[in-house]
Amino acid sequence: MQSMKAALVETNDGPFRLTEIARPTVNSGEVLVRIHASGVNPLDTKIRAGAAAHARHPLPAVLGLDLAGVVEAVAADVTTFHPGDEVYGMTGGVGGIQGTLAEFASVDASLLAIKPANLTMREAAALPLVTITAWEGLVDRAKVQPGQTLLVQGGAGGVGHVAVQIGVAFGATVFATDSAAKADFIRSMGATPVDYASESIEGYVGRLTDGAGFDLVYDTGGSAVLDASFQAVKRFGHVVSCLGWGTHALAPLSFKAGTYSGVFTLAPLLNGIGRAHHGEILKAAAALVEAGKLVPHLDPQVFSFDTVAEAYAAITDRTAAGKIVVSIVEA
């Protein structure tokens, strides 16, 4: 039996132990990927801590939701990929499916897409979870259209900065809330920044929409930010959230005859339903990337197998300045 190097977590919030485990073999419908880079998301840190009830991953386990790498082998019934293809996807790290902090993963081929040709492996590994989450909210649920006004709550964050770029690419007029320090970054993506700390909801809705509200609001913050989104949307508008938890008053939305939808990006990994759509989203996103309309925002720090713990700490300590990626194969 062949083995591979992997970073194993054995207890909630426990250390990463670099060890040798069995290299997976491909089953029907699967592709064996030699992983070059593993994206790290805030959700990964919550899974490690056992703090995500909706995203259980029995321990001991290999964490990591996102990957970019090279196809090593394919099952006999897989015709969409071939050895040597460069691919990316959100492929595991939840629900007992092996994650991406390993040298290899055998994954459902429908979850993958060909990596954008103009991105490095590190850049590509930063995209899957946040891109699928943003796309499902804006394109699948909200049906974003040219000429609409779109407010992205937390527009400089992981999901937020992708949502901003998708909105711009689809022809919407995009506004994005975040701290004043992120204003230039938001402008660089083609959106108008809103400093949530210095201006009230009523203030920026009045200033930017003459009090009418925004056609679409994408909430990436949850809690009070979702409540603010109900206030910021226009009559007959639509609010979408990827963090729609807690208790919320729906009256502000109902009085406007507005609608709401939620995004649960992990569902296809957990229940096996709709996995092919994830691959389709990443294929469409790759076209945006190659057209220069979607650019991942990476933290400049480079992490490796030996510094996986530091990569996770950069997120939990809030010192990351962009998406965190662990290099499994050194560039």
The DSSP code sequence of 39-70 is: EE-HHHHHHHHT--TTS--PSSEE--SEEEEE
Q: How confident is the model at residue 225 (pLDDT cuts 50, 70, 90)?
A: very high
Distance of CA 69 to the CA centre of its chain: 17
What is the rounded CA–CA span in Å between residue 302 and residue 20?
23
Handedness of CA 19, 47, 179, 155 (dihedral sign): positive
Q: How confident is the model at residue 245 (pLDDT cuts 50, 70, 90)?
A: confident
What is the rounded CA–CA span in Å between residue 55 and residue 265?
11
Cross-strand bridge partners of residue 34: 70, 104
pLDDT of 81 higher than 70: yes
Give me the pLDDT at residue 180, please. Answer: 97
What is the rounded CA–CA span in Å between residue 154 and residue 158?
9
Give me the pLDDT at residue 246, please. Answer: 83
pLDDT of 330 higher than 90: no
Q: How confident is the model at residue 331 (pLDDT cuts 50, 70, 90)?
A: low
| Residue 241 near residue 159, CB atoms below 8 Å | no
The residues, any chain, with a CB within 8 Å of residue 10's CB and separated by 6 or more, are 17, 59, 60
Give me the pLDDT at residue 171, please. Answer: 98
With 0-12 / 13-18 / 19 or more C-beta atoms within 10 angstroms meaning exposed / middle / buried, residue 329 is middle
Give me the pLDDT at residue 201, please. Answer: 96
pLDDT of 95 higher than 70: yes
| Residue 107 near residue 99, CB atoms below 8 Å | no
Give me the pLDDT at residue 1, please. Answer: 76
Output the average pLDDT for the chain: 96
Query: Is pTM, for the whole model, over 0.95?
Result: yes
